[in-house]
Amino acid sequence: MIRSIPLRGFDQQMAYLVTDSMASHGTNLLWQTRPVSMEKDRGHNKVVWTDSNGNLECDSFDTVLMAVGREAQTKAIGLDSAGVQLNKDTGKIIGGHGGDSERSSVPHIYALGDVLQGKPELTPVAIKAGKLLAHRLFGSATAQMDYETVPTTVFTPLEYGCVGLSEETAILKHNEDDIEVYHAFYSPLEYTVAERSAEQCYMKMICLRGSDQAVLGLHLLGPNAGEIIQGFAAAMRCNVTKEAIQSTVGIHPTCAEEVVKLHITKRSGEDPRVTGC
């Protein structure tokens, strides 16, 4: 049951490929629906929802898993009395004051993790930001948390791993004419041997157009995507360019090899399907 869009905050081309893969394996996705009620009915869970036209529908399920997200519990701890500025819609703390990513509007109050407005809701992010903050407050360090090159993976049956900007965000931050997107549909070896469909196995690299073509984002849908993206995330922290990745020797036959072989752009209109070695 999807209320609006899949994987909000992620690259939407990749998100829809994820749902396409799930649907191709038998998952029935209910689009533009909102749950209304749920009750026990002869050992099952009877769920009532509204469809995209506002009509009521219902069905019974053995198990119901509710992904309700997170809500910042900031309203009852007196932050308003202390003068801490909050986002009115989310209740999250607005950071970035005094040139410090985690500093609130009150100089001696800092926010970390999911409670910080506009930052990734990921445990490793909170841990890393907390360590960096501790070193700034109690040591001589000045390093700030880099929230733009945070790698993450959605562990759907076909993994989706990414680091950096989505294509939508890259277009918003830069002129569309200044963005180059390299992409490919590929077939992992383990899919080829087992004669499995690789229709949704896809990757794309988002770069700034220009001589060095700085990499802004990398997105990969396929087996072991998280393992692959973790390595490329380190490269992105070092301001990797398309030229540097393209000049890297690939490990054959791996999915990661297809990243260093990317050469077809969306702008060209050419067929991005990888054929042969």
Given the residues 44, 135, 252, 263, select the one marked as catalytic.
252
Report how far residue 195's alpha carbon sits from residue 95's, in angstroms, rounded to the nearest whole number.
Answer: 50
Residue type, 24: S
213 contacts: CB under 8 Å, gap ≥ 6: 180, 207, 241, 242, 243
Question: Which residue in the block uniquely carries the two structure tokens 């180059």?
Answer: 180
Q: Is 252 a catalytic residue?
A: yes
Q: What is the pLDDT of residue 277?
A: 64
C-alpha distances (whole Å) from 217 to each of 147, 168, 231, 237, 270 are 13, 11, 13, 11, 21
128-149 pLDDT per residue, tens: 999 999 999 999 999 999 999 9
Report how far residue 35's alpha carbon sits from residue 38's, in angstroms, rounded to the nearest whole number.
Answer: 8
Report how far residue 193's alpha carbon sits from residue 127's, in angstroms, rounded to the nearest whole number.
Answer: 41
Per-residue pLDDT of the chain (277 residues; tens, 9 = 90+): 999 999 999 999 999 999 999 999 999 999 999 999 999 998 899 999 999 999 999 999 999 998 878 889 998 899 999 999 999 999 999 999 999 999 999 999 999 999 999 999 999 999 999 999 999 999 999 999 999 999 999 999 999 999 999 999 999 999 999 999 999 999 999 998 898 889 999 999 999 998 889 999 999 999 999 999 999 999 999 999 999 999 999 999 999 999 999 999 999 999 999 987 6
Mode of pairing for the β-strands spanning 44-50 and 34-41: antiparallel
Report how far residue 185's alpha carbon sits from residue 275's, in angstroms, rounded to the nearest whole number.
Answer: 9
Q: What is the pLDDT of residue 104?
A: 98
Element (H, E) at 128: helix 123-138
Report how far residue 220's alpha carbon sits from residue 203's, in angstroms, rounded to the nearest whole number.
Answer: 4
- The residue among 258, 246, 248 whose CA lies nearest residue 191 is 258
Using a cut of 0.85, tell me whether the model's pTM lies above it.
yes
Q: What is the pLDDT of residue 210?
A: 86
Q: What is the pLDDT of residue 68?
A: 79
Q: What is the pLDDT of residue 69?
A: 80
Mode of pairing for the β-strands spanning 215-221 and 34-41: unpaired
